[in-house]
Chain A
């Protein structure tokens, strides 16, 4: 039945839409074949399942988050390249309006939710238990569920481009544009369901890490002895726990509007789209602090380590982290100063938004004075941290400009805004997490990433950044709005857009150099045999790289904030690095489980069913979800012990006895 087949390929595979879809199809097919063939050829299927897909080890989960985040950065970056190519010249028809709309929507959504979020979760997972002297997180099984919900949410979102069509109403997804009246397609459903699925995982991660940090610190590690990265995770987790439920509700209600036909966000039956806008930003603004706070934590660790000096003003640093997380709840309306709120409301939110600059400014000064009278060496993690400072100062300055409500009437939705949030989100989370990646890479994999290629990547990405985004501030003053798929020739926007596009390509090149660097370093990177390649200050550097499965053979007792550093100063670091064999006892560990993976898969199936209103499929998925939960409820035997003898053998092999 060729007619039915054609209908299928046109409706779902969108083969009538041209080469962009075909190329994507081919790339996806080739990648999938490549992965399957490689795994089969090297007989790695069992290894993949036993060591990774079923793992509940925080270090493995962290690495999987990191890989996923880098892949998503590639996808979101490819989107950005397409957008910038389209905008390089006026009246361009490289992309159609429909494709452009889909691509800016997926670019924004992926970068925030499927790149920045897994990147911070990668850091949470890899660093926190090692830094606080724990053997895993509080709920390892839940941690695996979080990861697989994120993963399958991301897959569901990504598949939309080649199956059914991507969402095309912007990452903010305001109704009524996203209601059935204006948007019948499945794209918006993909957005709602994939964010919903991964969002559940994010809430669980917030709870998990808050519990881990509050309950599982090594003896002697009082709250005010915690490393600042751990503190930043506390702050971010609190924000996650309070902010994400608002998103969950907003998405759920909009989904009901679209699937069941309720009217929460249409005016037509007494609903109100403003309610969505409020709910979205009550989550959305804290969300940007969720991704930037851990980056601040990374910078604090890196600055102290590479300036060889104690962090300056620790108490202020902690206070400002917590203050930022509190203020983050009182600024959401600055995303819509122009939606008719009263002058009193606008003034309140304007002043609250400016107040964010106070604790943030304090952090910057404290970083500066950590370096003051220090000894700064410019290795890769420090290079990205130093690049962050001036970049974030400028981004913060334009942020305060935007907070001035009446001035915002002129900036709102213009390229000035686009330049601002890219500047703070790239200088903050992206630079921070790249710095963190370089910093803790040896701890994850046992080798350093190549310095030389890394420097090329650094300069390309940084110069590219300024070339790309500085012109966009100017474009805002020239009156160019965001989300226009093309623009006329007479407005004087052409040159600046062209420069911006060139900058974006340079950044893209920088990213490719990071990829090259990783590939190169796997083979040729300097091996880290000491476990302490940077002359570190905190507990994780007292462990071998990579850390053994159980992390600490004996949990250390903490007496100082910069535990390892102080021990080194006193010549006592051996107490952390040499284990007394008699002190080793059996270690209690969680068992691996395939269920979190299957549960994620079941969520994926259910989500996919709801996207197309294929309820049989949706029900099958939901039954799968219920089944994995029930099976878990009746699982009694989910823990085991690593025997002391075994631990002694491992430690002896590492030369630590």
Chain B
């Protein structure tokens, strides 16, 4: 390759990379624009991992291109040729140990964040709980503390850690709001917990992230973060103006379909628990202890959930509580 064309290609590659990086700052790159502590921790970890990996791969790529250029088989190539040279203890020790060190460092960061994310992101604020049921192909949100329910959107107060308790009354799905933070699966017969928090008012895109069949592409929802007072206003407004969610309504929601949003002033008592129970929760050891689940007391709720409610997380939760 001639020097000039190398330069030209270099310029092109730089331009493309620069464009990619700049566009990475665009607001549509949801994962790069977290609005809460969970998403921010995850983004920090993403950046840390990229830097650590780059320490290894950038020099490796440089060495690669150098070698294939320097040792190409052209007449008159003066570079050294030693066809039998095939061992070097020193070199081997170097490239066994570099990746070990990098992986070691990255492991520490990974472990720290993994454990941190099982705790509420804010310790000094009373958390709230929202019970989420994924249906074919819609999302039902129940507020045990407020007594209201919504479909395909949920309103949360800013600055308050929210424990989303997740289950499914349909095939497995996954609850993902990229700007708030990473996802967790919803599974029939189980309740799983996911801590998220929004620090900025706004509307955030959410979507089911695990394939559930025909209507999956239209399985989106919106999380609306509002100030505490706006949130309370919304709750009382919903309570006074929206219709109640009856069992008949729920059974209708359960049928496979897609729909817009809906609000309900109340929901049948114990609906969330009953759904878990009847979808197989009764066979899961530990589910019986979900005492606080539908107590309506959000503080008690989150504690009991953390202790024993999250069925197949029982062992993990207790270890993180220690």
Contacts and interface: CB of A to CB of B under 8 A. Distances in A.
Among A311, A344, A372, which residue has the most Cβ atoms of chain B within 10 A? A372
Interface in B35-51: 39, 41-43, 45-46, 49-50
Interface string B11-34: 000000000100110101111100
Nearest to A378: B72
A374 B187 CA distance: 56
A412 B77 CA distance: 48
B277 to A, nearest CB: 11
Contact of B114 (A340, A347, A361, A482): A347
Nearest to B43: A410
B227 interface: no
Nearest to A304: B86
Interface in A381-399: 386, 389-390, 393-394, 396-397
B29 A474 contact: yes
B108 to A, nearest CB: 10
Given A405-B113, A412-B176, A483-B211, 7 more contacts: A177-B171, A273-B187, A316-B92, A343-B117, A406-B114, A410-B39, A484-B216
Instruction: Kindly state the interface size class of chain B when it binds its partner.
Output: 35 or more
Given A372-B67, A373-B80, A406-B41, A314 B86 contact: yes
Contacts of B181: 409-410
A476 B207 CA distance: 13
B209 A393 contact: no
Given A340-B190, A373-B79, A182 B213 contact: yes
A405 B315 CA distance: 18
A404 B106 CA distance: 8
Nearest to A484: B217
Nearest to A488: B220
A354 B31 CA distance: 22
B86 A97 contact: no
A298 interface: no
A183 to B, nearest CB: 8
Nearest to B166: A340
A428 B185 CA distance: 30
22 contacts: A101-B213, A168-B213, A309-B83, A316-B92, A339-B185, A340-B313, A343-B320, A351-B110, A370-B86, A373-B85, A376-B73, A397-B57, A406-B41, A407-B182, A409-B117, A410-B181, A413-B174, A478-B30, A479-B176, A479-B178, A481-B207, A485-B216
Nearest to B189: A267
A267 B46 CA distance: 35
Nearest to A396: B57
Contact of A313 (B53, B72, B87): B87
Given A358-B99, A375-B73, A412 B80 contact: no
Nearest to B212: A177
Contacts of B39: 410
B243 interface: no
B171 to A, nearest CB: 4
A400 B50 CA distance: 9
Contacts of A365: 60, 91, 95
A176 B189 CA distance: 11
B171 A176 contact: yes
Given A347-B115, A406-B113, A410-B42, A340 B280 contact: no
A410 B284 CA distance: 28
Contacts of B316: 341-345
Among B63, B83, B212, which residue has the most Cβ atoms of chain A within 10 A? B83
Interface string B61-78: 101100110011100010
A485 B211 CA distance: 10
Interface of A: 97-98, 101, 168-170, 174, 176-177, 182-183, 266-271, 273-274, 307-314, 316, 336, 338-347, 350-351, 354-355, 357-358, 361-362, 364-366, 368-378, 386, 389-390, 393-394, 396-397, 400-401, 403-410, 412-414, 474, 476-479, 481-487, 491-492
B114 A97 contact: no
A383 B71 CA distance: 15
A386 B182 CA distance: 36
B4 to A, nearest CB: 20
Nearest to A98: B214
Contacts of B212: 177
Among A170, A308, A336, A404, which residue has the most Cβ atoms of chain B within 10 A? A404
Shortest 4 CB-CB distances between A and B: which pairs? A342-B316, A409-B182, A267-B280, A492-B28
A351 B107 contact: yes
Given A357-B99, A406-B110, A309 B86 contact: yes
A444 B83 CA distance: 28
B304 interface: no
Contact of B81 (A269, A341, A355, A374): A374
A414 B71 CA distance: 41
B86 A310 contact: yes
Given A347-B115, A400-B106, A410-B46, A338 B77 contact: no
B101 to A, nearest CB: 10
Contacts of B106: 354, 400, 404
Contacts of B114: 343, 346-347, 350, 405-406
Interface string B98-136: 111001001101110111011000000000000000000
Contacts of B190: 267, 340
Nearest to A398: B53
Interface string B201-241: 00001011111111111000000000000000000000000
B32 A477 contact: yes
B312 interface: yes
Among B41, B91, B182, which residue has the most Cβ atoms of chain A within 10 A? B182
A362 B95 contact: yes
Nearest to A339: B185
Contacts of B56: 361
Contact of A394 (B57, B183, B205, B213): B57
B283 interface: yes
